[in-house]
Amino acid sequence: MPLFRPIHHTFAPHVGAAQMMHALALLAQPWKWKDGTEREALRCALARQYSADVFLFASGREALVGLLKALKGPERAEVIVQAFTCLVVPNAILAAGKVPVYADIGPDTLNLDPADVERRITPRTQAIICQHTFGIPADTHRLRALCDRYEILLIEDCAHMMPDKHGPTTVAKDGDAILFSFGRDKAVSGITGGAMLSRRPGLSVQLQAEEGRATSLSLLHIKRLLLYPFVYAIARPLYGMGIGKVLLILARTVGALVPILTSAEKQGTMSPTLHKLPNACAALALTGFQRLTAINDHRRALTTYYFAEAAQRHWTFPKAIHPDLPLQKFPLFMKNAEGIRRALKKQNIHLQDGWSGCTICPPGSPQESVCYTPASNPVAESSATMILSLPTHPTMTEGQAHALAERLDILLKQTI
Ligand SMILES: Cc1ncc(COP(=O)(O)O)c(C=O)c1O
Protein backbone atom coordinates (compact mmCIF):
# COMPACT_ATOMS: atom_id res chain seq x y z
CA MET A 1 0.00 0.00 0.00
CA PRO A 2 1.44 3.42 -0.90
CA LEU A 3 1.78 5.82 2.01
CA PHE A 4 -0.62 8.76 2.08
CA ARG A 5 2.07 11.28 3.09
CA PRO A 6 5.21 11.06 0.94
CA ILE A 7 8.58 10.27 2.48
CA HIS A 8 11.20 12.25 0.59
CA HIS A 9 14.50 14.12 0.57
CA THR A 10 13.70 17.00 -1.72
CA PHE A 11 10.05 18.08 -1.44
CA ALA A 12 10.80 21.22 0.58
CA PRO A 13 12.31 19.45 3.60
CA HIS A 14 12.35 22.59 5.80
CA VAL A 15 8.87 23.79 4.91
CA GLY A 16 6.51 23.48 7.84
CA ALA A 17 3.97 25.95 9.23
CA ALA A 18 6.65 28.20 10.77
CA GLN A 19 8.65 28.71 7.56
CA MET A 20 5.44 29.28 5.60
CA MET A 21 4.27 31.99 8.02
CA HIS A 22 7.67 33.62 7.87
CA ALA A 23 7.73 33.53 4.04
CA LEU A 24 4.20 34.97 3.99
CA ALA A 25 5.23 37.84 6.27
CA LEU A 26 8.22 38.51 4.03
CA LEU A 27 6.11 38.40 0.86
CA ALA A 28 4.01 41.18 2.37
CA GLN A 29 7.08 43.40 2.90
CA PRO A 30 8.84 43.73 -0.48
CA TRP A 31 10.94 46.63 0.82
CA LYS A 32 12.80 44.08 2.96
CA TRP A 33 13.54 41.66 0.11
CA LYS A 34 16.84 43.04 -1.18
CA ASP A 35 18.27 44.89 1.79
CA GLY A 36 17.54 45.12 5.50
CA THR A 37 18.89 44.42 8.94
CA GLU A 38 18.62 40.62 8.87
CA ARG A 39 21.60 40.13 6.55
CA GLU A 40 23.91 41.91 9.00
CA ALA A 41 22.34 40.05 11.94
CA LEU A 42 23.08 36.74 10.18
CA ARG A 43 26.65 37.84 9.50
CA CYS A 44 27.19 38.72 13.18
CA ALA A 45 25.65 35.46 14.41
CA LEU A 46 27.88 33.36 12.12
CA ALA A 47 30.99 35.38 13.00
CA ARG A 48 30.30 34.88 16.71
CA GLN A 49 29.63 31.16 16.47
CA TYR A 50 32.55 30.23 14.17
CA SER A 51 35.13 32.95 14.99
CA ALA A 52 35.79 34.13 11.44
CA ASP A 53 35.07 36.99 9.04
CA VAL A 54 31.80 36.32 7.20
CA PHE A 55 30.92 37.12 3.58
CA LEU A 56 27.44 36.50 2.24
CA PHE A 57 26.34 35.62 -1.29
CA ALA A 58 23.21 34.41 -3.07
CA SER A 59 24.26 30.72 -2.89
CA GLY A 60 26.97 28.44 -1.60
CA ARG A 61 28.38 27.99 -5.12
CA GLU A 62 28.66 31.77 -5.54
CA ALA A 63 30.38 32.04 -2.16
CA LEU A 64 32.92 29.49 -3.43
CA VAL A 65 33.47 31.44 -6.65
CA GLY A 66 33.96 34.57 -4.52
CA LEU A 67 36.62 32.87 -2.44
CA LEU A 68 38.45 31.34 -5.37
CA LYS A 69 38.43 34.64 -7.26
CA ALA A 70 39.79 36.32 -4.13
CA LEU A 71 42.61 33.78 -4.06
CA LYS A 72 45.27 35.28 -6.29
CA GLY A 73 47.70 32.84 -7.87
CA PRO A 74 48.97 31.39 -11.13
CA GLU A 75 46.68 31.05 -14.16
CA ARG A 76 44.74 27.77 -14.05
CA ALA A 77 45.85 26.93 -10.53
CA GLU A 78 44.58 23.56 -9.32
CA VAL A 79 42.00 22.95 -6.61
CA ILE A 80 41.70 19.44 -5.21
CA VAL A 81 38.15 18.31 -4.61
CA GLN A 82 36.69 14.92 -3.88
CA ALA A 83 35.11 12.66 -6.45
CA PHE A 84 31.51 12.11 -5.29
CA THR A 85 30.59 15.75 -5.06
CA CYS A 86 27.93 18.08 -6.39
CA LEU A 87 28.37 19.42 -9.94
CA VAL A 88 28.14 23.00 -8.66
CA VAL A 89 31.48 22.61 -6.86
CA PRO A 90 33.67 21.94 -9.95
CA ASN A 91 31.49 24.43 -11.87
CA ALA A 92 32.44 27.09 -9.29
CA ILE A 93 36.15 26.18 -9.51
CA LEU A 94 36.07 26.55 -13.30
CA ALA A 95 34.04 29.79 -13.11
CA ALA A 96 36.82 31.27 -10.96
CA GLY A 97 39.42 30.32 -13.62
CA LYS A 98 40.90 27.37 -11.71
CA VAL A 99 41.07 23.66 -12.54
CA PRO A 100 39.37 20.94 -10.45
CA VAL A 101 41.55 17.92 -9.67
CA TYR A 102 39.68 14.97 -8.19
CA ALA A 103 40.90 12.82 -5.32
CA ASP A 104 39.29 9.59 -4.23
CA ILE A 105 37.21 9.12 -1.09
CA GLY A 106 37.44 6.66 1.77
CA PRO A 107 34.60 4.08 1.79
CA ASP A 108 34.18 4.52 5.55
CA THR A 109 33.67 8.29 5.40
CA LEU A 110 32.56 9.19 1.83
CA ASN A 111 35.05 12.03 2.31
CA LEU A 112 38.52 12.81 0.91
CA ASP A 113 41.11 10.11 1.44
CA PRO A 114 44.14 12.16 2.66
CA ALA A 115 46.63 9.64 1.21
CA ASP A 116 45.11 10.01 -2.25
CA VAL A 117 44.99 13.80 -1.83
CA GLU A 118 48.72 13.84 -1.24
CA ARG A 119 49.31 11.89 -4.46
CA ARG A 120 47.36 14.54 -6.42
CA ILE A 121 49.24 17.58 -5.05
CA THR A 122 51.42 19.37 -7.65
CA PRO A 123 53.28 22.70 -7.63
CA ARG A 124 50.10 24.21 -9.14
CA THR A 125 47.83 23.10 -6.26
CA GLN A 126 46.40 26.16 -4.54
CA ALA A 127 43.63 24.77 -2.36
CA ILE A 128 41.95 21.63 -1.09
CA ILE A 129 38.18 21.56 -0.66
CA CYS A 130 37.25 19.13 2.05
CA GLN A 131 33.59 18.16 2.04
CA HIS A 132 31.80 16.72 5.08
CA THR A 133 29.60 14.46 2.98
CA PHE A 134 26.04 14.12 4.34
CA GLY A 135 27.38 15.49 7.66
CA ILE A 136 30.03 12.79 8.21
CA PRO A 137 33.08 14.69 9.51
CA ALA A 138 36.11 14.59 7.20
CA ASP A 139 39.62 14.00 8.52
CA THR A 140 40.45 17.70 8.77
CA HIS A 141 43.33 16.96 11.09
CA ARG A 142 45.36 15.13 8.44
CA LEU A 143 44.27 17.49 5.70
CA ARG A 144 45.33 20.50 7.80
CA ALA A 145 48.77 18.92 8.25
CA LEU A 146 49.05 18.38 4.47
CA CYS A 147 48.00 21.96 3.77
CA ASP A 148 50.58 23.29 6.22
CA ARG A 149 53.32 21.12 4.72
CA TYR A 150 52.60 22.16 1.11
CA GLU A 151 51.38 25.73 1.92
CA ILE A 152 47.94 25.15 0.46
CA LEU A 153 44.62 26.69 1.55
CA LEU A 154 42.16 24.37 3.32
CA ILE A 155 38.54 25.10 2.45
CA GLU A 156 35.98 23.21 4.53
CA ASP A 157 32.79 22.66 2.54
CA CYS A 158 30.15 22.51 5.26
CA ALA A 159 27.21 22.61 2.83
CA HIS A 160 25.89 19.39 4.37
CA MET A 161 26.32 20.20 8.05
CA MET A 162 26.46 23.17 10.40
CA PRO A 163 27.95 22.22 13.75
CA ASP A 164 26.18 23.60 16.83
CA LYS A 165 27.28 23.97 20.45
CA HIS A 166 27.20 20.16 20.82
CA GLY A 167 29.51 19.64 17.86
CA PRO A 168 30.82 17.82 15.99
CA THR A 169 33.75 19.80 17.35
CA THR A 170 36.15 18.90 14.53
CA VAL A 171 33.95 20.45 11.82
CA ALA A 172 34.48 24.12 10.79
CA LYS A 173 37.53 24.25 13.05
CA ASP A 174 40.67 23.62 10.98
CA GLY A 175 39.77 25.31 7.70
CA ASP A 176 41.29 28.58 6.51
CA ALA A 177 37.92 29.16 4.90
CA ILE A 178 34.54 27.61 5.64
CA LEU A 179 31.63 27.32 3.21
CA PHE A 180 28.01 27.16 4.36
CA SER A 181 24.98 26.82 2.13
CA PHE A 182 21.48 28.03 3.00
CA GLY A 183 19.94 26.10 0.13
CA ARG A 184 16.46 24.63 0.54
CA ASP A 185 17.67 21.15 1.55
CA LYS A 186 20.74 22.14 3.58
CA ALA A 187 21.37 22.32 7.35
CA VAL A 188 19.56 25.63 7.60
CA SER A 189 17.36 26.94 4.78
CA GLY A 190 17.08 30.49 3.47
CA ILE A 191 15.61 28.89 0.29
CA THR A 192 18.87 30.09 -1.23
CA GLY A 193 22.05 31.62 0.15
CA GLY A 194 25.64 30.96 1.02
CA ALA A 195 28.35 32.16 3.38
CA MET A 196 32.12 32.08 3.05
CA LEU A 197 33.96 32.44 6.34
CA SER A 198 37.61 33.45 6.31
CA ARG A 199 40.27 33.14 8.99
CA ARG A 200 43.00 34.73 6.87
CA PRO A 201 43.03 38.55 7.14
CA GLY A 202 44.52 38.98 3.63
CA LEU A 203 41.83 36.78 2.14
CA SER A 204 39.11 38.62 4.07
CA VAL A 205 40.11 41.91 2.42
CA GLN A 206 39.77 40.35 -1.04
CA LEU A 207 36.48 38.64 -0.14
CA GLN A 208 35.08 41.92 1.12
CA ALA A 209 35.86 43.44 -2.27
CA GLU A 210 34.14 40.51 -4.03
CA GLU A 211 31.05 40.91 -1.84
CA GLY A 212 31.10 44.66 -2.46
CA ARG A 213 31.02 44.08 -6.25
CA ALA A 214 28.11 41.58 -6.02
CA THR A 215 24.82 42.79 -7.48
CA SER A 216 21.28 42.32 -6.15
CA LEU A 217 18.96 39.63 -7.48
CA SER A 218 15.84 41.15 -9.05
CA LEU A 219 12.66 41.61 -7.01
CA LEU A 220 10.92 39.15 -9.33
CA HIS A 221 13.57 36.51 -8.67
CA ILE A 222 13.26 37.00 -4.89
CA LYS A 223 9.48 36.79 -5.13
CA ARG A 224 9.80 33.44 -6.97
CA LEU A 225 12.09 32.21 -4.18
CA LEU A 226 9.56 33.23 -1.52
CA LEU A 227 6.76 31.41 -3.35
CA TYR A 228 8.60 28.09 -3.06
CA PRO A 229 7.22 27.10 0.38
CA PHE A 230 3.64 27.63 -0.80
CA VAL A 231 4.00 25.71 -4.05
CA TYR A 232 5.42 22.72 -2.15
CA ALA A 233 2.93 22.99 0.70
CA ILE A 234 0.17 22.45 -1.89
CA ALA A 235 1.99 19.90 -4.08
CA ARG A 236 3.57 17.73 -1.37
CA PRO A 237 0.43 16.13 0.12
CA LEU A 238 -0.93 15.54 -3.41
CA TYR A 239 2.21 13.82 -4.63
CA GLY A 240 0.98 10.27 -4.00
CA MET A 241 -2.07 10.93 -6.22
CA GLY A 242 0.10 12.10 -9.10
CA ILE A 243 -1.36 15.62 -8.93
CA GLY A 244 1.57 17.02 -6.93
CA LYS A 245 4.03 16.23 -9.68
CA VAL A 246 1.82 17.89 -12.30
CA LEU A 247 1.51 20.99 -10.10
CA LEU A 248 5.29 21.21 -9.69
CA ILE A 249 5.89 20.87 -13.44
CA LEU A 250 3.25 23.53 -14.03
CA ALA A 251 4.82 25.86 -11.43
CA ARG A 252 8.25 25.40 -13.07
CA THR A 253 6.84 25.97 -16.55
CA VAL A 254 5.17 29.26 -15.62
CA GLY A 255 8.36 30.35 -13.84
CA ALA A 256 6.91 30.32 -10.30
CA LEU A 257 9.83 28.20 -9.04
CA VAL A 258 13.58 28.84 -9.20
CA PRO A 259 15.34 25.59 -10.18
CA ILE A 260 18.26 24.35 -8.03
CA LEU A 261 20.39 23.90 -11.18
CA THR A 262 20.01 26.11 -14.25
CA SER A 263 20.27 24.45 -17.65
CA ALA A 264 23.72 26.06 -18.13
CA GLU A 265 24.85 24.58 -14.81
CA LYS A 266 23.59 21.16 -15.83
CA GLN A 267 25.87 21.44 -18.85
CA GLY A 268 28.87 22.22 -16.66
CA THR A 269 29.13 26.00 -16.87
CA MET A 270 28.55 28.75 -14.33
CA SER A 271 28.69 32.51 -14.65
CA PRO A 272 31.37 34.16 -12.47
CA THR A 273 28.98 37.04 -11.71
CA LEU A 274 28.19 37.18 -8.00
CA HIS A 275 24.97 38.25 -6.29
CA LYS A 276 24.24 39.57 -2.81
CA LEU A 277 22.37 37.34 -0.39
CA PRO A 278 18.81 38.76 -0.54
CA ASN A 279 17.83 40.11 2.87
CA ALA A 280 14.59 38.07 2.75
CA CYS A 281 16.62 34.83 2.40
CA ALA A 282 18.98 36.01 5.14
CA ALA A 283 15.92 36.50 7.39
CA LEU A 284 14.80 32.89 6.81
CA ALA A 285 18.34 31.57 7.27
CA LEU A 286 18.78 33.58 10.47
CA THR A 287 15.61 32.08 11.96
CA GLY A 288 16.88 28.62 11.01
CA PHE A 289 20.29 29.36 12.47
CA GLN A 290 18.72 30.47 15.75
CA ARG A 291 17.05 27.04 15.87
CA LEU A 292 20.19 25.17 14.75
CA THR A 293 20.58 23.07 17.90
CA ALA A 294 16.93 21.97 17.75
CA ILE A 295 17.21 21.16 14.03
CA ASN A 296 20.43 19.21 14.62
CA ASP A 297 18.95 17.42 17.64
CA HIS A 298 16.12 16.19 15.40
CA ARG A 299 18.72 14.96 12.90
CA ARG A 300 20.66 13.32 15.75
CA ALA A 301 17.52 11.51 16.93
CA LEU A 302 16.85 10.13 13.43
CA THR A 303 20.53 9.20 12.96
CA THR A 304 20.41 7.31 16.28
CA TYR A 305 17.25 5.53 15.17
CA TYR A 306 18.60 4.50 11.75
CA PHE A 307 21.92 3.49 13.30
CA ALA A 308 20.14 1.09 15.69
CA GLU A 309 17.88 -0.26 12.92
CA ALA A 310 20.83 -0.78 10.57
CA ALA A 311 22.85 -2.55 13.24
CA GLN A 312 19.93 -4.79 14.20
CA ARG A 313 18.97 -5.61 10.61
CA HIS A 314 22.58 -6.02 9.41
CA TRP A 315 22.42 -3.20 6.89
CA THR A 316 25.79 -1.88 5.76
CA PHE A 317 26.75 1.79 6.10
CA PRO A 318 29.95 3.90 6.21
CA LYS A 319 31.89 2.90 9.33
CA ALA A 320 32.67 6.50 10.35
CA ILE A 321 28.99 7.14 11.15
CA HIS A 322 28.20 7.22 14.83
CA PRO A 323 24.75 7.59 16.38
CA ASP A 324 25.11 11.13 17.73
CA LEU A 325 25.96 12.84 14.42
CA PRO A 326 23.39 15.32 13.04
CA LEU A 327 23.51 13.70 9.60
CA GLN A 328 21.91 15.47 6.66
CA LYS A 329 20.88 11.99 5.49
CA PHE A 330 21.82 8.45 6.52
CA PRO A 331 23.58 6.57 3.70
CA LEU A 332 23.26 2.79 3.42
CA PHE A 333 25.23 0.61 1.01
CA MET A 334 23.32 -2.07 -0.87
CA LYS A 335 23.73 -4.08 -4.05
CA ASN A 336 20.57 -3.11 -5.89
CA ALA A 337 20.15 0.44 -4.57
CA GLU A 338 18.48 1.72 -7.74
CA GLY A 339 15.99 -1.17 -7.88
CA ILE A 340 15.08 -0.69 -4.22
CA ARG A 341 14.61 3.03 -4.77
CA ARG A 342 12.28 2.32 -7.70
CA ALA A 343 10.25 -0.15 -5.62
CA LEU A 344 9.97 2.36 -2.74
CA LYS A 345 8.81 5.07 -5.13
CA LYS A 346 5.72 2.98 -5.89
CA GLN A 347 4.95 3.24 -2.15
CA ASN A 348 5.16 7.07 -2.23
CA ILE A 349 8.71 6.96 -0.77
CA HIS A 350 11.03 9.12 -2.86
CA LEU A 351 14.68 8.54 -2.02
CA GLN A 352 16.25 9.83 -5.24
CA ASP A 353 18.26 12.76 -3.90
CA GLY A 354 20.67 13.19 -6.80
CA TRP A 355 23.49 11.55 -4.81
CA SER A 356 23.51 8.02 -6.13
CA GLY A 357 24.96 6.37 -9.19
CA CYS A 358 27.17 9.39 -9.91
CA THR A 359 30.62 10.64 -8.97
CA ILE A 360 29.73 14.15 -10.11
CA CYS A 361 26.16 14.51 -8.91
CA PRO A 362 23.34 14.55 -9.91
CA PRO A 363 23.35 11.63 -12.36
CA GLY A 364 23.88 12.70 -15.95
CA SER A 365 26.24 15.57 -15.07
CA PRO A 366 28.71 16.19 -17.90
CA GLN A 367 31.93 14.72 -16.52
CA GLU A 368 34.24 15.92 -19.32
CA SER A 369 33.07 19.55 -19.02
CA VAL A 370 34.21 19.56 -15.39
CA CYS A 371 37.52 17.76 -16.09
CA TYR A 372 36.49 14.42 -14.57
CA THR A 373 38.12 11.34 -16.11
CA PRO A 374 35.91 8.25 -15.79
CA ALA A 375 37.49 5.32 -13.87
CA SER A 376 39.96 7.66 -12.12
CA ASN A 377 38.52 7.30 -8.58
CA PRO A 378 37.50 3.67 -8.01
CA VAL A 379 36.23 3.99 -4.43
CA ALA A 380 33.98 6.95 -5.24
CA GLU A 381 32.68 5.26 -8.36
CA SER A 382 31.85 1.95 -6.70
CA SER A 383 30.43 3.51 -3.49
CA ALA A 384 28.16 5.82 -5.48
CA THR A 385 26.40 2.91 -7.21
CA MET A 386 25.53 1.30 -3.86
CA ILE A 387 24.17 4.28 -1.93
CA LEU A 388 20.61 4.60 -0.75
CA SER A 389 20.11 7.41 1.77
CA LEU A 390 17.42 7.80 4.41
CA PRO A 391 16.04 11.28 5.23
CA THR A 392 16.73 13.08 8.52
CA HIS A 393 15.35 16.52 7.60
CA PRO A 394 13.25 18.72 9.91
CA THR A 395 9.85 17.65 8.52
CA MET A 396 10.66 13.91 8.52
CA THR A 397 8.99 12.42 11.62
CA GLU A 398 10.13 9.50 13.75
CA GLY A 399 6.92 7.71 12.72
CA GLN A 400 7.87 8.09 9.06
CA ALA A 401 11.39 6.85 9.80
CA HIS A 402 9.86 3.78 11.42
CA ALA A 403 7.55 3.13 8.43
CA LEU A 404 10.51 3.57 6.08
CA ALA A 405 12.72 1.12 7.97
CA GLU A 406 9.94 -1.50 8.02
CA ARG A 407 9.19 -1.19 4.31
CA LEU A 408 12.85 -1.16 3.35
CA ASP A 409 13.45 -4.28 5.41
CA ILE A 410 10.61 -6.14 3.65
CA LEU A 411 11.97 -5.16 0.22
CA LEU A 412 15.51 -6.15 1.12
CA LYS A 413 14.36 -9.56 2.37
CA GLN A 414 12.38 -10.07 -0.85
CA THR A 415 15.45 -9.34 -3.00
CA ILE A 416 17.86 -11.65 -1.16
C1 LIG B 1 28.85 19.49 -1.28
C2 LIG B 1 28.23 20.78 -1.73
N3 LIG B 1 28.96 21.90 -1.71
C4 LIG B 1 28.45 23.07 -2.10
C5 LIG B 1 27.15 23.17 -2.55
C6 LIG B 1 26.63 24.50 -3.02
O7 LIG B 1 25.51 24.95 -2.33
P8 LIG B 1 24.42 25.90 -3.02
O9 LIG B 1 23.31 25.02 -3.48
O10 LIG B 1 24.01 26.82 -1.91
O11 LIG B 1 25.06 26.62 -4.14
C12 LIG B 1 26.35 22.03 -2.60
C13 LIG B 1 24.98 22.12 -3.09
O14 LIG B 1 24.23 21.23 -3.26
C15 LIG B 1 26.90 20.79 -2.17
O16 LIG B 1 26.17 19.66 -2.17
For the domain that residue 53 is a member of, what is the CATH number? 3.40.640.10
* CA pair distance 257, 225, nearest whole angstrom: 7
pLDDT of the residue at 416: 64
Using most ligand atoms within 8 A of CB, pick from 86, 185, 274 the residue to mutate for ligand 1.
Answer: 86
Indicate which CATH number applies to the domain containing 343: 3.90.1150.10
Is residue 183 within 8 Å of 193, Cβ to Cβ? yes
* Residue 51 clears pLDDT 80, i.e. is over it: yes
- Cα 191 to middle of ligand 1, angstroms: 12
Residues 158 and 299 in one domain: no
Q: What is the span of the domain harbouring residue 179? A: 31-213
Mean pLDDT of 93-101: 98
Q: How confident is the model at residue 240 (pLDDT cuts 50, 70, 90)?
A: confident
Residues 175 and 320 in one domain: no
Residue 208, exposed/middle/buried by CB under 10 A (0-12, 13-18, 19+)? middle
pLDDT of the residue at 111: 98
Q: Residue 262: inside a domain, yes or no?
A: no
pLDDT of the residue at 242: 86
pLDDT of the residue at 364: 97
131 Cβ inside 6 Å of ligand 1: yes
Q: How confident is the model at residue 123 (pLDDT cuts 50, 70, 90)?
A: very high
* CA pair distance 15, 322, nearest whole angstrom: 27
Is residue 81 within 8 Å of 153, Cβ to Cβ? no
193, 213, 233: which is the final residue of a domain?
213
Residue closest by Cα to atom 4 of ligand 1 = 159
Looking at the whole model, is its pTM more than 0.95?
yes
Mean pLDDT of 103-118: 98
Residue closest by Cα to atom 16 of ligand 1 = 86
189 Cβ inside 6 Å of ligand 1: no
- Angstrom CA distances, 201 to 54, 62, 119, 382, 383, stand at 11, 20, 30, 41, 39
182, 197, 213: which is the final residue of a domain?
213
The total domain count for the chain is 2
Q: Residue 121: inside a domain, yes or no?
A: yes
- Angstrom CA distances, 298 to 14, 95, 135, 307, stand at 12, 36, 14, 14
178, 213, 248: which is the final residue of a domain?
213
